[in-house]
Amino acid sequence: MKRSTAPVSLECPGCGSSSRLWHSILLRLFVVFLAIYGLTAGFSLSRHSLAPHFVYLAESFLHGHLDLIHVPAPPYDLTLFEGRWYVSFPPLPALLMLPLVALRGLAVSDIAFSVVLGALNVSLFYAVLIRFGHGRALPLRRVGHG
């Protein structure tokens, strides 16, 4: 099976829009869902969740440890092995948080991080659906402008 060497188009497949308009749609989706998720989270945006595993794991990674150097209280879903606490989940969220934790330490809110990542996922999912032909682009008409 031969792979195509054609460059990936930045245009919305099947909708005939320019790449600028296509990126505008994705950005609008991101902003709308960021607002929705942010309003849903409310005052919790500045705090940790009840189980901020990945913030603590990112901090441990920055110090060269696979085990947690600080353990959140209570240690929900953590695994104690030979006197050390470990996060039993795959580490991707902690890896994505590394730059933020490097800058702000344990003050990074995993709730705010989840809100931003969730809004980004909506745009990415929409782009994938359009790219693989399982949907059509959102209509760009404004209400009342026919």
Outline where the chain has alpha helix (H): 19-41, 53-62, 92-104, 110-131
How far is it, in rounded angstroms, from Cα 97 to Cα 115?
A: 13
Say how far apart CA 84 and CA 78 lie, in whole Å: 10
Looking at residue 132, what DSSP letter applies? T
What span, in angstroms and rounded, lies between the C-alpha atoms of 140 and 146? 11
Residue 11: which pLDDT band, with cuts at 50, 70 and 90? low
pLDDT digits (tens, 9 = 90+) for 61-120: 999 999 999 998 888 899 999 999 999 999 999 999 999 999 999 999 999 999 999 999
**Contact (Cβ atoms closer than 8 angstroms) between residue 115 and residue 34:** yes
Name residue 79's beta-bridge partners: 86
Write out pLDDT tens, residues 12-70: 555 555 677 888 889 999 999 999 999 999 988 888 888 899 999 999 999 999 999 99
The per-residue b/e assignment along 69-89, b for 16 or more CB within 10 angstroms, e otherwise, is eeebeeeeebeeeeeebbbee
Average pLDDT for 130-136 = 69
